[in-house]
Amino acid sequence: MLSRDHILGIFCEINLMTDNSLTYRSLYVALTCLSLACCCCVDDTGPASMDWAYYQGDPGSNQYSPADQINRRNVGELEIAWTYACGDGDSLGRSQIQCNPLIIDGTLYGTSPKLKLFALDAATGKHKWTFDPFVNSYEMYGMGVNRGLAFWSDGDSQRIYFGAGSFLYAVNALDGVLHEHFGDEGRVDLHVGLGAHAAEYFIAANSPGVIYKDLYIIGVRVSEAMGAAPGDIRAFDVHSGELRWTFHTIPQPGEFGHQTWPANSWRDMGGANAWSGLSIDHEREIVFVPTGSAAYDFYGGDRHGENLFANSLIALDANTGERIWHFQTIRHDLWDRDLPAPPNLVNITKDGKNVEAVAQITKAGFVFLFERETGRPIFPMEEISVPSSHLRGEAAWPTQLVPSKPPRFSRHIFAEKDITQRTPEAHAYVRAIWHSLQKGTEFIPPSEEGTLLLPGFDGGGEWGGAAVDLDGIMYVNASEMPWIIKMIEYQTEEDGLLSSKGRNIYGTQCQLCHGADKKGASIYTVPSLENLKARKTEADVASIIKNGQGMMPSFAFLNDGDIRAITAFLFDSQELMTPEDKKSSLARQSWKYPYFMSGYVRFKDHEGFPALTPPWGTLNAIDLNQGILKWKVTLGQHPDIELTGDSLTGTENYGGPIVTAGDLLFIAATMDEKIRAFDKYTGALLWQHDLPAAGYATPASYVVNGKQYIVIACGGGKIGSKSGDSYVAFSL
């Protein structure tokens, strides 16, 4: 009897040989029926338990589950098994949950919108315990999100390590009590070891590190503007919290790559950080580190050179932190092209031989593939010439390296034919803006006119990561949203108004998130500052700037005069500067660039829909063995556009897919507040279910008491979606 894999393989071959959709659709139905008949003979009895014990499923970040009780023939029978409400979501739509939970020995560990760590019975959703790192003071001290956790055990003790704000916590997995011998009574300040100049800079641990022997190895999120901490990779002792080793991502004198920066850059330059998480090869004792851009993200007049190890995949000795090899995916980044997810440690077949490889997705829609031990590319690289910059003092790098295979999984050119046809008014509105922008090829540097960026700041690929099955097939979702980078010249305060001084400080310190129009930016779920004086007093604003609030960090390095000037700008004050106000401020002294960026701006039509034709989100299958795209399907339906026929729009998406041995892909991620299951061979949609809020997180799959579950965090809160506070588990 033919196996279902054999049958589906036959179908895929037919699919590739014909463009007659009716023919292969009919064949698919027939062959699937035959396949399912064969599957009926399979015993569904599986293991009594199966954990999801690592962030993104395993140390290699492959988002794969060997559980197969839920499969293509029965996935339509999935129902909600339990729902757990955390109870601390934000009714204003500003909170999120991005956590990919851990499930170990029948207990689920997750985090809430306010970064409380909790434990549940994974079979029932019954609450066991909660640990609050901020002791109910999140509005003052909480920063950012938490995307996952790390579990450690020596057989006797069990601990959960997780980041909240600028601290790393070690919590007893059985009762939620801090491990008092770790760091300062259970926590380590992640400013440790970054140098005196970084002591007051913003740092957050939004993605978990990895456990290697008795080390916890971690990267952090830092600011992307001036005043950024360095993005060093560090290893802490899991018992004591002591710093054991550091890898400088901005090399110091005598270190490899130091010559790719101006002299002494290492003293005050920041960024080049691994905010998206790490992968670990325990057998080879290698930790794989994907880094982001150097700060300031969009102007590099003070960092001429290639800027290692920004935008690099780095292989480090997990014992010592020493560099083994690296590959820089963007030289002298000016586009915020961070490596957005941990790399996948995969096994592929190349020229008939098994190759243990590492695959790195990017915001630009590339997949870079290397031999794991040596860093040699699996497929040839192409070096292309790219445009130069017209900004004063900038020196864009003249060439970039791109992989010849696999093909990109996201569009990268926005031609006139791609302008939205949603309505005549939308087309005309977008076309006028489109003609004003710098565009036409890739790697056009930021400009004063405005530069079109596709994929945008959020990809392409993003922090949800890619799933890879045992056959070396990668599954990755992509957003198809253009963005605009526009640089604004730093102006003098010649009119003498305090608000003019405040405008410059706002532009350098606040505008990146809140926008030039003060309307906020959904990239970080940032609230609007329009008509602020109707909602806040000047004292309120000063307190928030100095102390931080919610996802906004403290700007305590600004002096009282700076804060008074920002407030004058936000409140449209006509107050004149005093002689004291005219003196150089701390912010003016720290801002050494002739420009600042106008803010994170999505390119949309006049009614808020994407400026280009659909699809606005896709799900893709890539054969890493051959470097080819197997299939692409539209992912999601924009909730404000009525579906007509089969014409899905797709949506921007956050959170990634998982793939299971049941031949299924599970993914939420979309604006329409659904979770879906797809056939991994064809991309056919097999099941979908409504969620209480959008699932902007990566699901997890596990087995408890012989039953397989799929669980997803439903936090919403991004791109205009309402916030939620629940985790929902599904089972047969």
Q: What angle do CA 545, 547, 551 make, to 5 degrees?
A: 80
Give pLDDT, residue 197.
78
Q: Give the E-state strand segments of 5-131 in sequence order.
A: 64-65, 79-85, 102-104, 107-111, 117-121, 127-131
Give pLDDT, residue 149.
98
Is residue 69 classed as helix, strand or coil in its secondary structure?
Answer: coil
Task: Please report the domains of the chain, with CATH numbers, ordered by start residue.
Answer: 4-39 (no CATH), 491-592 (1.10.760.10)
3-state secondary structure 458-479: CECCCCCCCEECCCCEEEEEEE
Query: Which region among 69-78, 218-227, 286-295, 351-360 has the lowest average model confidence (pLDDT)?
Result: 218-227
Sign of CA dihedral 28, 637, 514, 397: positive
d(CA 235, CA 212): 9
* pLDDT higher than 70, residue 581: yes
* pLDDT higher than 60, residue 722: yes
d(CA 624, CA 615): 24
d(CA 605, CA 433): 9
Q: Are 140 and 547 in contact (CB under 8 A)?
A: yes
Nearest residue to 311 (alpha-carbon basis) of 279, 284, 276: 276
pLDDT tens readout for residues 495-551:
788 888 888 788 777 876 787 778 775 544 577 888 888 888 888 888 888 777 766
Instruction: Provide the Cα torsion 687, 689, 693, 699; round to 10°.
Output: -50
Structure tokens at 165: 């704000």
pLDDT tens readout for residues 338-394:
999 999 999 999 999 999 999 999 999 999 999 999 999 999 999 999 999 999 999
d(CA 362, CA 460): 7
d(CA 698, CA 716): 13
Q: Are 403 and 493 in contact (CB under 8 A)?
A: no
H or E element that contains 542: helix 538-547
Nearest residue to 582 (alpha-carbon basis) of 565, 558, 563: 565
pLDDT tens readout for residues 100-126:
999 999 999 999 999 999 999 999 999
Q: Residue with structure tokens 């997750």?
A: 110
Nearest residue to 712 (alpha-carbon basis) of 724, 721, 51, 720: 724
Contacts of 233 (CB under 8 A, 6+ apart): 217, 218, 219, 246, 247, 249, 274, 278, 287, 289, 314, 316, 321
Structure tokens at 572: 């449209």
Give pLDDT, residue 646.
73
Give pLDDT, residue 697.
98
Binned at pLDDT 50, 70 and 90, residue 17 comes out as: very low
Question: Whole-prediction pTM value?
Answer: 0.87
H or E element that contains 688: strand 685-690
Q: Are 236 and 242 in contact (CB under 8 A)?
A: yes
**Around Cβ 251, how many Cβ atoms within 10 Å?**
20
pLDDT mean across residues, the chain: 90
d(CA 449, CA 268): 30
Indicate the angle between helix axes 498-509 and 560-570, nearest 10 degrees.
100
For residue 241, give the amino acid letter. G
Nearest residue to 728 (alpha-carbon basis) of 83, 70, 79: 83
Nearest residue to 445 (alpha-carbon basis) of 386, 483, 389, 489: 389
Q: Are 622 and 614 in contact (CB under 8 A)?
A: no
